[in-house]
Amino acid sequence: MTRIGVISDTHGLLRPEAVAALRGSDLILHAGDVGRPAVLDGLRALAPVHAVRGNVDRGPWAEALPETCEVTIEGVAIHMQHDPAAPVAGLEERGVRAVIAGHTHRPVIEDRNGILYLNPGSAGPRRFSLPIVLAIVDVRDGVLHPRLVELIP
């Protein structure tokens, strides 16, 4: 089994609750709006990190972040981008089984024609009445098992 921590929209804030929830992850995916490089440094202290650039990520450190990335874990291809509304072509042809995106701050776990669409919500400063949340995805025998973890009620 491989445990993937999925976090997004930290906006420069790496909460201790997020660090605790991500401890034990084999890999961490950050779906953008990182906010500052120290967030990625803190996450890298826990596990290897793949991150994409969000709309608030600016400056030389952020330019090094790709707009999209794809990783394969236990034979499962995962596509990640910041904006869930941005078009993604050729998922089936590339064998992608999950699409991860942030941006909306609204957590979502949804199956669309056999592809997992996951928005881990926001682990950064609270916006409106939306939850402070991230996701954990366990990959067992090529099957994705996602769950949301509320950090602050």
Give the pLDDT confidence of 60-115 residue by residue, as tens digits: 999 999 999 999 999 999 999 999 999 999 999 999 999 999 999 999 999 999 99
Distances (CA, A) of 144 to 45, 127, 129, 133: 25, 29, 29, 19
Partnered with residue 139 across adjacent β-strands are: 2, 144
Contact 135, 149 (CB under 8 A): yes
> What is the reported pTM?
0.97
pLDDT at residue 153 tops 90: no
Q: Tell me the CATH number for domain 2-152.
A: 3.60.21.10
